[in-house]
Every structure is written in C-alpha cells, then in structure tokens.
Structure 1
C-alpha cells in the first residue's frame, strides 16, 4: 500500500519564530485597535484620520510581510528584504507612538463622554500602546548586532534616517499654514532646511530599499557623511533662527503665550513652539547620525 507523505505548505517558521510571533501580535493589536475605534465611530478630524491611517497601514503592511515570508517570495519582491521590513517596523513604531499620544489627548479628555464610550476609547489607546511596544520589539530584534553583516537600514544610522524623516513630516503638519513662515525671509530659509534635509534622507532610504546605492557618483558611506554634516549645519541655523523670529520682540515675535491661547492646546503660538522643539530634536538626531556614519567609515577603512 503506497505511503502518502504530507507536504508542508509555506514557511511555517515565518509564523512560529520569535520574530513571526511578534509580527502576529502586531497585526492582532493594530486590528483590535482600529476595530474598537470603528465600532464606536470614535474618530473625527485630522487627528482622528491620522490615528486611523496609522493603525490600518501598520496592520495591512504587517500582514503583507507575513504572507511574503510565509510563501517564501522575498527574492521575487523588487526591494531589498534586508532593508524593507525593519524600515517599515521603525516607521510603524513611530506611527503607533504618535497615535497612542494623539488619540487619548484628542478623544478621551471630553467630559461629556459616557462611561461605556470612554471605556472603548481607553481600550483602543491601550491596544495602540501594545502595538507600539510590539513594533519597537521587532526593531530591537532585527537591528544590526555588532559585527553582523546586514542591510544599511538595520544599522543605527539607517534607523535614524527614519526618525529624521518622521520628525520632518510632523514639522510640515505644523507649518502647513503659510503665515508661520511668510513674514521673514529667514523663516523661509528654515522651511527650505526642513524640505531639503527631508528629501535627502528620504532619497537615502529609497536607494537602500531599492538596492540602488551604486547609482551614486561617489562611495555611499562618504556621501552619507557629507550630506549628514550638511544637514547638521543647516538644522543648526534653523534651530537658532526659528525661535528668534517667532519669540523675540525685536524681530516681531511673541515671547509669551498670548491670551487667545487660554483653554486651547492647538493655537498658533503653541504650534510654533512645537516646531522649535522638533527642530532642536531633529538637530540632535542628525548629530547622532553624523557620529555613527563617521564611525562606519573608520571601521570600514
């Protein structure tokens, strides 16, 4: 009697390994989060749209990554699989972190909420925080270890590129009103700094994911150090100029919080403060990026 052998379908280790389990948790937590919010129709406006976008995109791309690895299609995908999953995981970490802060601040503080409605929104916030922890765990697991040969995006400078672009996107949201920079040419220079540095960092990420770093006319590591040094210098000027022209009376700024901001946490003056703080934070990120990029050059040489 012929013996029939069962054939395993797919790469089960993609689901049962430590990384696979973490990704399954990511998909579960994000799915529960947006399901709770959708069930109660508990999101409105730009803040709500951003939170819902973050949870849905993170869930969809995580499922896609799981399916690709389960089917063993990594080599047929026209992207670098050493760079894409960890790049997405880092973006997802930041997206879920921002949603976990924005959602409760915007949608739980309402005193008119009923007990059941508030409970749903608190539960959504908890699962959003769990999503953030799951994605940050994936980044910790998959980032490059000392001496390990892997994709650039798995290194500290690669992950910092993601942070740089994400912070720049937040800055763009707060300066979307042209009144925030049209008063002075110096403020327009700050906007130029944000745009130029964002584009260059994004180009680096795209080149790494698309495995197109060889298209550059100079060695990739030296290009990184040169552009990061330029970004540090540019952000240093913006870190000084932005608060001077927004908060110094001599340059037409408002040094203290105006009366019309009372009872509001989204007034124009507050937004300009946020931009100043984020500019300083991104300067520190670029400084760390420069230090690590320089170390990579010395190690390779």
Structure 2
C-alpha cells in the first residue's frame, strides 16, 4: 500500500479549515435547524454543499498528486472554485440569519442550531477569502489568468449577474418596457461572455479563439463596460421615473439597480486591470 505524505502549508491548512467549517454549517442545518423546503433554505444548503464538495475534490487531487491527470487547468481551477465558494458562503452568511433567525424568530434548540450554522458559515467565508488571498497572483509573478485580478473579477461579475437574474425573474420585472428588456439583454450577454472566459481558462481552450486571447479580453471588456453603463442608467430611469409602471416589488427593483451599478464598477475595474495586465498564462 503506497505511503501518502501530506505536505503542510498555509494554503493546505486554510483549505482544511474551509472544508471543516462548510461541512459543519450544512450538517448542523440539516440535522436540527428544521428548515422549510425550497427557497432560501435550499440556496444556503447548496452554497455550503457546493463549497465543501469542490474543496474536498481540490484537496484530494493535490494530496494524491493528480494535477497532471486532471482534465482542467490546475493553475486556474482551484482559485476559481475558492472564489465562487467565498461568494456563495458570504451570501449564505447574510441570507441565512436574515430569513431564518430575524424573520422567523425560532426558539429553543432550533434557534441554537441555526446560530451555529450561521457562525460556521461566516467562518467558512473568511477561510475561503483567505484561500483566495493566498492563491492569487503576486505582482511580477507568472500565473494562470484566473489567479489575476481580472480573472477574479470575472467570477464576481458572473455571481452578481446571477443575483440580478434571481431578483428580476420572480416576478418578471423587465417585460413592461423595451428599455428594460434591453437591460435584461445586457445582463444575459455579459454573463454568457464572462462565464465563457472562465470556462475557456479552466479548460485551457483559449487557443481555440480566432483572435489572440488578450485582444478578445480587451474588446469584450470595453463592450461590457459600455453595455453595463447603459443598463445602470436605463434601469432606474424606467423603473422609478414619473411614467414608470409601479409594482409592489420596488425593493427588488431597487436592489437590482444597486447590483447593476456594482457590476458596472466591476467591469470598469476589469477593463482597467486588463489594460495593465502584462503576465497572462492560461
């Protein structure tokens, strides 16, 4: 039986901590939190289970030395997973106490279980942020694209876009004016292109593009920033203007406007970083 030697490092300990915290969060919630089926409860459980499963996969591949056999770029995959896990754990750390502690106000053991899940979800988010910080590229270092600031911004852009989709799709908040449908088109087009960049980098398929990857990133970054600028202006104008169609879901439309502006800033920062980026290896 081969002897497996675990080489310790700060990154390994941070990953183990994130694995433990996410495991405790969903285990406690599933065991005694008595959560309703569907909705935000399922979302929080998904966040913790996804983070735990992907982290366990990364740990097993690295400890068994299987990186060369993995069908993905190992310079891009682990940090991409860590960044998504950090965002998912952070969202669960906000959503879970708001919906299942503040609004429902449980008592007894159920409340204790939910508090424990919230605490460990926060710890998992911090651990994953630590992993991203340890894994990201340093100035002058040759690294995978997803380990650079533009790569991490792509992850944030897709995550924010998913939040916008959730906010404006149930109920549908963009179908009463053509300008709002344009905003939806902006969200969809930019999300698809950002996710395509993530997939191309992880799969090491950037060479399949008909133009150099750096030129594609620059052109797409400029286009996406301009498109999101129009959506940032149009969405609030046609949702909250004098002739706007008033609904009972104004909190969702306001939140969507905020996240639209946030994604515009992310695309603007992405464009600025891409223009300065001089070390891209995929």
TM-score (norm 1): 0.89
The 8 Å contact of residues 11 and 72 in structure 1, kept in 2 or not, is answered as no
1:288 aligns with 2:265: no
Instruction: Answer whether contact 1:235 1:279 (CA < 8 A) is retained.
Output: yes
SS of alignment partner, residue 249 of structure 1: coil
Identify the residue that residue 18 of structure 2 maps to in structure 1. 26
User: How many corresponding residue pairs?
Assistant: 279
| Shift, 1:249, TM fit | 1.5
The residue number in structure 1 matching 2:6 is: 12
Q: CA deviation at 1:41?
A: 4.3
1:151 is matched with which residue? 144
Name the CA distance, whole Å, in 2 between partners of 1:20 and 1:8. 21
> Which range moves more in the overlay, 175-184 or 150-159?
175-184
What displacement does 1:253 show? 3.9
* 1:114 shift after superposition: 1.3
How big is each residue's C-alpha offset from its partner over 1:215-265, in whole Å with a ceiling of 9 and x where there is no partner? Answer: 111111111011010000000000011111111123x244xxx8xxxxxxx
Does the CA-based 8 Å contact 2:33-2:110 persist in structure 1? no
Matching residue of 1:236: 229
Equivalent residue, structure 2, for 1:264: none
What pairs with 1:70-149 in structure 2 (closer than 5 Å)? Answer: 70-110=63-103, 112-149=105-142
Unaligned runs of 5+ in 2: none
Structure 2 vs 1, CA of residues 110 and 269 (structure 1 numbering), >3 Å: closer, same or farther?
A: closer
Counterpart secondary structure, 1:9: coil
When Rg is computed on C-alpha atoms for both structures, the one with the higher figure is 1
Aligned to 1:60: 53
Structure 2 vs 1, CA of residues 72 and 11 (structure 1 numbering), >3 Å: closer, same or farther? farther
Larger RCO (CA within 8 A; separation ≥ 6): 2
Calculate the aligned-residue CA RMSD, in Å.
1.6
1:46-96 deviations in whole A, cap 9, x for unaligned?
111000001011111111111111111000011000000000000000000
Name the TM-score, length of structure 2 as normaliser: 0.95
